[in-house]
Amino acid sequence: MRKILAVIRREFVERVRQRWFWVMVVLGPLFFGALFVVPSLLAGKSGVKHIAVVDGTTTRFGANLTERLDRDTLFVAVRVPAAPATIDSLFAAAQRKGVDSSAPHPIDSLMAAVDRNEIDGFLIVGDETPDSGKAMYRASNISSFVTIATLDRILSELVTVTRLEREGVNPAVVAKARIGVDLKSDKIAGGKITGESAAQSFSLAYFMGIILYMSILIYGINVMSSVLEEKTTKIVEVLISSLRPFQLLMGKVLGVGAVSIFQFLIWGVSTRLLISQRRHIMGKQGLGDAGQLFQMPHVTPATAAVFLAYFLGGFLLYSAMFAAVGAMSSNEQEARQAQQPVMMLLIASFISMFAMLNDPGSTLSVTLSMIPFSAPIAMPVRWAAGTLPLSEVALSLAILAVSILGVTWIASRIYRVGILMTGKRPSLKELVRWVRTA
Amino acid sequence: MADPVIVDRVTKRFAGHTAVDALSLTVPSGTIYGLLGPNGAGKSTTIRMILNIYVPDSGSVRLFGEQGSGRDHSARIGYLPEERGLYAKMRVLDVLLFLAELKGVDRRAARSKALTWLERLGLSDWRMRKVNELSKGMQQKVQFISTILHEPDLLVMDEAFSGLDPVNSQVLKDTVLELRAQGKTILFSTHIMEQAEKICDHVCIIARGKKLVDGTMSDIKRTHGGRNLLVNFDGARGNADAIFADHRLVAKADASGQFAELELAPHADAQEVLRALVTSGARLSRFELAEPSLNKIFIDLVGPDAATPVTRPEVANA
């Protein structure tokens, strides 16, 4: 036992001392922060849009629109008054492409401003806008669909209001009619409303999946390179003369596992901090709405326990396989090739997570959460996304535990023979012989 | 005191090839024991079986006259493998402490011992440096310290002197002799006979996994010696070549120019050879009945074909 402790201690201390560990510690939260922001950015948000409203209306419509846009966090709007005739000619020009384009036009100066990046775009409205719903938006970046959608929404609302008021509907009634629907979703667990919204469940499941995948991968590979280092430096022979190969393997896995738990502690605390500061950070970037999808989830003790149980299970399962890969290889290149099958298993489990997020209760999801190789990612994701009967979790954990024993038994036999072998990588047939004879 | 190592008819096969074949040997306490053989003779495999790194297919190894495998006794054994290596990115002192811990030494005790040894071998300035910042010679010293830091009763060194520079070689030899003076037992393998001849009390010569001879150095020399003639000519060689070819007198001759090393034929008398040479008109400046060098005994025993190693057993198996 004391020898195993010495191995655990060495693995832990040497790893924590390395620079890459602290780089990961710092980059980890940054990475998770990016996971918050990037999907929002991909959804089309890229900050506040400065736009000009070219107002050719003779009513208050243009001024109202400008004011409404400016109030939205997405826009900074400035009204540019224009003669109705100018607007008419613009609409006409748009219909009969390029007829007037050679003649100088007041709109040219705005185009130039877009070119110079002084404004992001301009919106043209005229008197016919409330009637026909016709308006034009010209911008350097039309593809930003959130911008277009928001513009569309605000414009439509105002057109509706203007039309209703024109028909003599009481403005108070219009205001009442405009109150939107705010669909609130709650997750039910054990017959009780948990107070956790769908968005929170989704974000929790998403994060747990990613963290599980990444840490099982990173720390599994850590075990592999540790095995490989001892093998290539030949120090393993000295070690094996002092303790059993299985003791060495166990100390190694536990030591690397302890590093991962340590890193989780640091990451956990910083991610928690980041989430609690989410509104603040996103508000600064004008991403108020994007935060909706990723709300701070309630991590209950049960969820934490499930996460930890499956992380440890997954880590033990995969690190045993990675250790066997390290033991059967003679150098980094060989190991990189030999690790492919193990990586594939893990990557497949990760990708299947997305199918599961759509429907955590489907047959596919249930199957994946029972297969030991995908369960470490699949089950926590299902747990977070929906509510599961405890019996299902227990069954899945039991299968996982039995598989860990089986896989470790095989892996440790490969390890035992492999660490003292030199020469070419064994074929599958030879591996089977190692397992049989070890 | 019980013999530290008793190997009893151990056999180890790798993928149909027998690396060690029913080998028995006994290492007496307080001696320097040389396990000699050409490359591929099974020296490393034998040593690994003694240390329980390999499990013999048959036969047994008994250590210190007690039950238990090499691993169970590892606190009393220091092992320097043929292929050297340390954790490249660890600090020198940390490597020593870790390896001592695996031998069951308390960290604090290990630290003071490690510092003493580092000081003694001139490495104390390097104790906080990473192993890969050290020169190869320094790394060898560090590895040697790690082998003896826990003050083992039995020191096992595979190809002890291979890859050592002359300075380190001397350090190792001095330390080994010092350890023997303290009553420790040293078992080492080598294929370099000159080294073995200088420091071994006992030797065991093996080839192709089988023992050819073992015993104390003096016994072996006596058994295989006394039948050796060293002859130096002083100009005229007379009819020397014909006499050397006479199998009633000379069993084997290694003659070159003015010098010849002869092995007497069984029952032949050295005086007859002398008489025959002088009668044939040879002038001699030296005629000596000598002990053979270990090298000669080795080559005689092993023979030219056994010295050609088969493929490395580990590689053949992998």
Q: Which tens digit of pLDDT belongs to each residue from B116-155? A: 999 988 899 999 999 999 988 889 889 999 999 999 999 9
What residues of chain B lie within 8 A of the CB of A16, using their CB?
none
Structure tokens at B274: 């002398």
CB contact under 8 A, B74 and A423: no
Phi, psi of B56 (to 5 degrees): -65, 150
| C-alpha count within 13 angstroms, C-beta hemisphere, residue B174 | 8
Could you give phi then psi for residue A289, rounded to 5 degrees?
Answer: -75, -35
Q: Phi/psi of residue A96, each to 5°?
A: -110, 90
pLDDT in tens, B273-285: 888 888 888 888 8
Give the gap in angstroms from C-alpha B275 to the nearest C-alpha of chain A. Answer: 58
CB contact under 8 A, B53 and A241: yes
Residue B92 and residue B139: Cα distance in Å, rounded? Answer: 9
Chain A residues close to B103, C-beta within 8 Å: 242
Assess contact for A247 and A7: CB atoms under 8 A.
yes
Give just the sign of the alpha carbon dihedral A135, A139, A143, A149. negative
CA distance A417 to A328: 8
Instruction: For residues A407 and A414, give the distance between their C-alpha atoms in angstroms, rounded to a whole number.
Output: 11
pTM of this structure: 0.71
Burial class (CB in 10 A: 0-12, 13-18, 19+), A194: middle
**Facing residue for A422 by CB, picked from B52, B88, B318:** B318
d(CA A119, CA A301): 50
Q: 28-87 in A: which are within 8 Å (CB) of B?
A: none
Report pLDDT for A98.
47
Q: What's the pLDDT at A256?
A: 94
CB of B186 closer than 8 Å to CB of B218: no
Q: Which residues of A touch B315 (CB under 8 A)?
A: 422-423
Q: Give phi and psi for A365, each to the nearest 5.
A: -60, -45
Q: Which of B217, B142, B134, B203 is nearest to B172 (CA)?
A: B142
In a 3-state reduction of DSSP, which class is residue B209?
coil
Q: Spell out which residues of chain A touch residue B83, defining contact as CB-CB under 8 Å.
A: 234, 237
CA distance A85 to A160: 25
Q: How large a percentage of chain B has pLDDT more than 70?
A: 94
Helical axes A145-166 vs A61-71, angle rounded to 10° = 140
Tell me the shortest Cα–Cα distance from B25 to chain A, in angstroms.
Answer: 20
For residue A2, what are its two tokens?
């004391």
Contacts of A229 in chain B (CB under 8 A): 87-88
Going by the DSSP 8-state scheme, the letter that residue A196 receives in this structure is -
User: What pLDDT, on a 0 to 100 scale, did the predictor assign at position B79?
Assistant: 93
Q: Which residues in chain B touch residue A234, judged by CB atoms under 8 angstroms apart?
A: 81, 83-85
Query: In the β-sheet with B259-264, what is the strand arrangement from edge to edge?
Result: B250-256, B259-264, B228-233, B284-290
The answer to whether the Cβ–Cβ distance between A6 and B102 falls below 8 Å is: yes
pLDDT of residue B101: 92
Distance from C-alpha of B201 to C-alpha of B288, rounded to nearest angstrom:
25
Lowest mean pLDDT among A153-162, A424-433, B41-50, B55-64: A424-433
The helix, strand and coil proportions of chain B, stated in percent and rounded to the nearest 5, come to 35, 30, 35
DSSP 3-state percent helix, strand, coil across chain A (nearest 5): 70, 5, 25
**Closest of B251, B258, B249, B269 to residue B231, by C-alpha:** B258
Contact residues, chain A, for B98 at CB < 8 Å? 6, 10
The answer to whether the beta carbons of residues B63 and B40 sit under 8 Å apart is no
Mean pLDDT of B154-158: 92
**Cβ A10–B317 below 8 Å, yes or no?**
no
Q: Residue A377: how many CB atoms within 10 A of its CB?
A: 29
Cβ within 8 Å, pair A18-B89: yes
E strand residue ranges, B77-134: 77-80
Q: Does A426 touch chain B (CB under 8 A)?
A: yes
Q: Determine the Cα angle at B70 with ends B217 and B40, to 5°.
A: 55
Q: Is A62 exposed, middle or buried (0-12, 13-18, 19+ CB in 10 A)?
A: buried
- State how far the Cα of A343 lies from the Cα of A131, in Å rounded to an integer: 61
A438 in B contact zone (CB under 8 Å): no
Is residue A366 exposed (0-12), middle (13-18) or buried (19+ Cβ within 10 Å)?
middle
Helix boundaries (H) for A233-293: 235-240, 245-276, 278-284
Its ipTM equals 0.78
Closest CA to A222 of A255, A185, A177: A255
Is B81 within 8 Å of B158 (Cβ atoms)? yes
Average pLDDT over chain B, rounded to an integer: 86
Q: How far apart are CA A64 and CA A125, in angstroms?
A: 12
- Helical (H) or strand (E) element with A13: helix A2-17
Task: List phi, psi (to 5°) of B282.
Answer: -75, 145
Type of residue found at A117: N
Which percentage of chain B shows pLDDT scores above 90?
35
- Judging contacts by C-beta atoms under 8 Å, the chain B residues touching residue A244 are 71
User: Distance between CA atoms of B117 and B126, rounded to whole angstroms?
Assistant: 12
Specify the DSSP element, H or E, that contains A369: none
**Vertex B158: Cα angle to B152 and B162 (nearest 5):** 120
Record the tokens describing residue A169, joined without a space. Answer: 């509907």
Question: Beta strand pairing status for A121-126 and A49-56?
Answer: parallel
Helix axes A375-385 and A198-232, enclosed angle (nearest 10): 160
Quote the distance between the C-alpha of residue A345 and its chain's center: 20
Task: Retrieve residue A241's tokens.
Answer: 């003369």
Q: Cα(B36)–Cα(B213) distance, rounded to whole angstroms?
A: 10
State the smallest CA–CA distance between residue A76 and chain B in angstroms: 56
Distances (CA, A) of A155 to A53, A91, A158, A162: 12, 17, 5, 10
Please check whether residue A147 is in contact with residue A44, taking contact to mean a CB–CB distance below 8 angstroms: yes
- Give the Cβ contact number of residue A283 at 10 Å: 12
pLDDT at A220: 93
Q: What mean pLDDT is predicted for residues B281-296?
A: 83
Radius of gyration of chain B (CA): 23
**How far apart (Å, rounded) are the C-alpha atoms in residues A49 and B22?**
87
B238 with B275: CB under 8 angstroms?
no
- Which amino acid, one-letter code, is at A214? M
What is residue A179's predicted lDDT score, i.e. its pLDDT?
A: 67
Q: Is B34:B188 a contact under the CB 8 Å cutoff?
A: yes
- Interchain pair A3, B101: CB under 8 A: yes
Q: What pLDDT was estimated at residue A428?
A: 80
Residue-level pLDDT at A191: 52
* Residue B34 or B167, more confident: B34
Q: Judged by CB atoms within 8 Å, which residues 201-240 of A form the interface with B?
A: 229-230, 232-235, 237-240
A204: helix, strand or coil: helix
Q: φ, ψ for residue B134 (rounded to 5)?
A: -90, 155
Residue-level length of chain B? 318
Cβ atoms of residues B14 and B56 within 8 Å: no
Block residue for tokens 């009780």: A192
Rounded Cα gap, residues B264 and A7, in angstroms: 60
DSSP state of A323: H
Q: What are the C-alpha distances in Å from B295 to residues B163, B165, B207, B281, B308?
A: 20, 22, 14, 32, 16
Pairing of strands B58-63, B77-80: unpaired
For β-strands B259-264 and B228-233, DSSP reports them as antiparallel
Residue-level pLDDT, tens digit, chain A, 438 residues: 788 999 999 999 999 998 888 888 888 777 766 766 666 565 554 567 788 888 888 888 888 888 888 887 778 888 888 777 666 666 665 554 444 445 556 677 777 878 877 788 888 888 878 887 788 887 776 556 677 778 888 888 888 888 888 888 777 787 777 666 666 656 565 555 555 566 667 777 887 888 889 889 989 999 999 999 999 888 998 998 898 899 999 999 999 999 998 988 887 777 677 667 766 666 555 554 444 444 455 667 788 888 889 999 999 999 999 999 999 988 888 888 889 999 999 999 888 888 777 777 788 888 888 999 999 988 888 888 777 788 888 999 999 999 999 999 899 888 888 888 876 777 888 888 878 776
Containing H/E element for A352? helix A340-358
pLDDT of residue B247: 84
